[in-house]
Amino acid sequence: MAVRSANAKWTGNLKEGKGTMKFSNYTGPYTFSSRFEEGEGTNPEELVGAANAGCFSMFLSGLLSEENFVPESIETSARVHLRRDEIGPVITTIELDTRVRCEGISRERFQELAAEAKEKCPISRLLAAAEIKLSASLV
């Protein structure tokens, strides 16, 4: 399987410093403010959320396809909760919210496959230390 790469560069101290994250065709700034406050730029937690949402969506599509369902669309958002514990900042919860258009599948079977995708997609497996919550809806 493929090996993927990303790069991050940070200059300066924690609060006044700044950084840049790069992968594929994306380059974006991040700062203390964009991570721990509401400043401009991105942060690692947003990228984790995007990775989890994307991975989950693809995995669910695969599970549906294995059962001969053809999803018209799978749209997933992720809310990543960053809190502080006795060690420091920690991701405690990821809330996945997915909206799926897929003809012919029962709500019960859809919920089973969505739960399976949440448990088995590679990013969810990587993030198993955090609680990953799921809200899945057929639309």
Tokens read off for 123: 């990013």
Instruction: Verify that 29 and 72 share a domain, yes or no.
Output: no
Instruction: Verify that 18 and 84 share a domain, yes or no.
Output: no
Q: For position 118, what pLDDT does the model report?
A: 96
Instruction: Verify that 22 and 50 share a domain, yes or no.
Output: no
pTM metric for this prediction = 0.88
In DSSP terms, 78 is beta-bridged to 96
Instruction: Verify that 23 and 79 share a domain, yes or no.
Output: no
CB proximity list for 137: less than 8 A, separation 6 or greater: 98, 99, 100
Q: State pLDDT tens for residues 55-92.
A: 999 999 999 999 999 999 999 999 999 999 999 999 99
Q: State pLDDT tens for residues 87-132.
A: 999 999 999 999 999 999 999 999 999 999 999 999 999 988 778 8
Instruction: Verify that 95 and 126 share a domain, yes or no.
Output: yes
Find the mean pLDDT for residues 9-13. Answer: 96
Helix (H, G, I), strand (E, B) or coil at 16: coil
Instruction: Verify that 32 and 51 share a domain, yes or no.
Output: no
Structural domains counted in the chain: 2
